[in-house]
Amino acid sequence: MPQPRITLRSQSPGGKGEPAEAPKQIKVGGKPLSPKVETNREDPTSMTTEVVRSKEEESIRSRFPLVFSTYEEQWDEGIGWRSPSSPLHSRRNRVSLFSGWPAGWLILSIIGAIVLGTLMGMTLLSTFFSGDAVHTRTIDSHLKSTPSDLENGKVSQKPGAAVSLPSLQAVLLQAGSYSEKKRAQQTVEGLRSEGWASVMTPDPPHRIYLGVGINRDDALKLSVIYQKQNVQVYLKDWVVRGDGVRIPEEQARSSKEMAVFAEKGHELFHRLGQQTVSHLQSNNTVTAFSGMTDLQKQYQAYVIQGTRLESKLPKKAKSAALGMMQALDLAVQGAEEAQKNPSSALIWQMQEGLVRYALAYEQFVSAWK
């Protein structure tokens, strides 16, 4: 924006013959304005112009008092920010920070700072990092610890009465293991559609079992049948130990009933397991089951024992006991149908029931551990 130019003239009190006073400088925006001095004093037009400009000056001063007061004072006193004429910004007055230091002292101070920083870094590293490859400290290492039960020669045990349940040993025929439940379910449905036994475990990895043998010899006999049909199976030893089971005090009275219930179930498991293998090995011909009346009586006694015990068991053990009874019920029903209408598909149905019994008994024992 161009700076306004204002010209002031003042007439000396002595008249025309006396020299006029020097024009007064006016500062706008921190810079002086050079007034224009007219030499023609007699021109009335210039006198009128001077009066008008004087009025303009007064108007400017009234509208912008800071321009003619603060900046004038700062300029007159010689204090101006970043001003070229300010002595504070003169190159001659600049003093270097290290101008008074000898070169040797400067080098020594730098070396001392480096050495001090190195020592402090090594101290911190040695404090927080030890040379051991494995750290045994934990966030609670600083707390006062109490001797554990193992240090005192004591082993913490689950409260309750110790009960010994009968163990179960068998050999399962496993067809595979799947991480996806959908694929495992499709495999199970495909095997069942061909008349084979097939059981899938509910929890991942989902294992598929195709049969069970009371011992390894019976399991091998079943595996030969599958191999002839190009079905690959693997033998898996299945051992469920019933010792070390502890039952709560309020259910300790039912411990004997539990043992009897498991023993009766194991008897049916072994009996039906041997019969299914022998029938499947008789050149693919199925004969009628012998002693079916005795088998039904044995099964009825087992169901009565389980029904009495079911109401006394906790939820998890109750669900497992119910699974055991349902599994043997599937096997016994298959035997009854096979006696009327001999079929290998019914024998494999019995095998599926026996596999389910082995899995359910493991859950029953685990419910007390």
List pLDDT tens digits, range 53-71.
666 667 666 666 655 555 4
How many CA atoms, within 13 angstroms, populate the side-chain half-sphere of residue 119? 6
Say if residue 115's pLDDT is above 90.
no
**Quick check: helix, strand or coil at residue 113?**
helix
The answer to which of 84-93, 115-124, 225-234, 243-252 has the lowest mean pLDDT is: 84-93
Confidence of residue 13 (pLDDT cuts 50, 70, 90): very low
Residue-range domain boundaries for the chain:
26-89, 161-366
Tens of pLDDT, residues 73-92? 544 444 444 444 444 444 45
Confidence of residue 99 (pLDDT cuts 50, 70, 90): low
How many CA atoms, within 13 angstroms, populate the side-chain half-sphere of residue 161? 12
Bridge partners of 234, per DSSP, are 174
- Output Rg (C-alpha) for the chain, integer angstroms: 54
Say if residue 319's pLDDT is above 50.
yes
Residue 298 is predicted with a pLDDT of: 93
Residue 57 is predicted with a pLDDT of: 65
Tens of pLDDT, residues 144-153? 555 544 344 4
State the chain's mean pLDDT as an integer. Answer: 74
Residue 128 is predicted with a pLDDT of: 62
Average pLDDT on 203-226 reads: 93
The fraction of the chain above a pLDDT of 70, given in percent, is 60
Average pLDDT on 303-329 reads: 92
Strands 206-213 and 168-178: antiparallel
Residue 66 is predicted with a pLDDT of: 54
Q: Give Cα 69 to chain centroid, integer Å.
A: 69
**Quick check: helix, strand or coil at residue 175?**
strand
**Quick check: helix, strand or coil at residue 115?**
helix
Amino acid at 99: S
Residue 16 is predicted with a pLDDT of: 46
